[in-house]
Chain A
């Protein structure tokens, strides 16, 4: 009965090689978020979709993009990963102002 699913759980990519992380939800929530969580740091919001409306945080690098082809799926694309992009990437969903439901995260390693 997983509600927010992230694939893969672990991803290794090479410096500069594009990579896509996937998130899906069974909750039918209208909002989906992507957070970046570096080691020993707070999760940091990158962007979110409210239905089909994309909302980018002001300090999210241009290297990070997102797609939401339908309600259930949302993708995080990193066009040219650098060593500094190694992190845990968390997907979350919400319907309304209260709780956000998180997936287990994808740990990205850049070699």
Chain B
């Protein structure tokens, strides 16, 4: 079974600075998808960024980028120029390919605090 581990229950960063959230996973599959989801307080979870395992290039979405290390099974999220609106729970998630309707396997989440 796949597992996803987020070792940082909480992170704090000053506004406008950069922060990196860590995620490791375990799988025997060679092809899969990895995601970072953001869950603001009392609001729904939204997708921040995704990475296909077969792609060597790290995904980037504006201020959000990932460092995907397939051999190390590591998938960290870097947030540049942190903004107050980035404060939320961040979940790393895994989904295998080939199982089109498979659900996500989530980590426990990292609570990100933005200090003004």
Residues 82-111 of A, flagged 1 when their CB comes within 8 A of B and 0 if not, give: 000000001010101111101111000000
| B50 with A99: CB separation less than 8 A | yes
The residue in chain A whose Cβ has the minimal distance to the Cβ of B100 is A97
The residue in chain A whose Cβ has the minimal distance to the Cβ of B108 is A42
Inter-chain contacts of A35 with B (CB < 8 A): 103
SS class, residues of chain B in contact with chain A: loop
Let me know if A48 is at the binding interface, CB within 8 A.
Answer: yes
| B101 with A102: CB separation less than 8 A | no
What is the number of residues of chain B that contact chain A, defined by CB distance less than 8 Å? Answer: 23
Question: Which residues does A use to contact B, with CB under 8 Å?
Answer: 4, 31, 33, 35, 40-45, 48, 50, 55, 57, 90, 92, 94, 96-100, 102-105
Additional A-B contact list (11), CB under 8 Å, known A31-B101, A40-B9: A45-B104, A48-B103, A90-B45, A92-B45, A97-B100, A99-B47, A100-B103, A100-B104, A102-B37, A102-B44, A102-B45
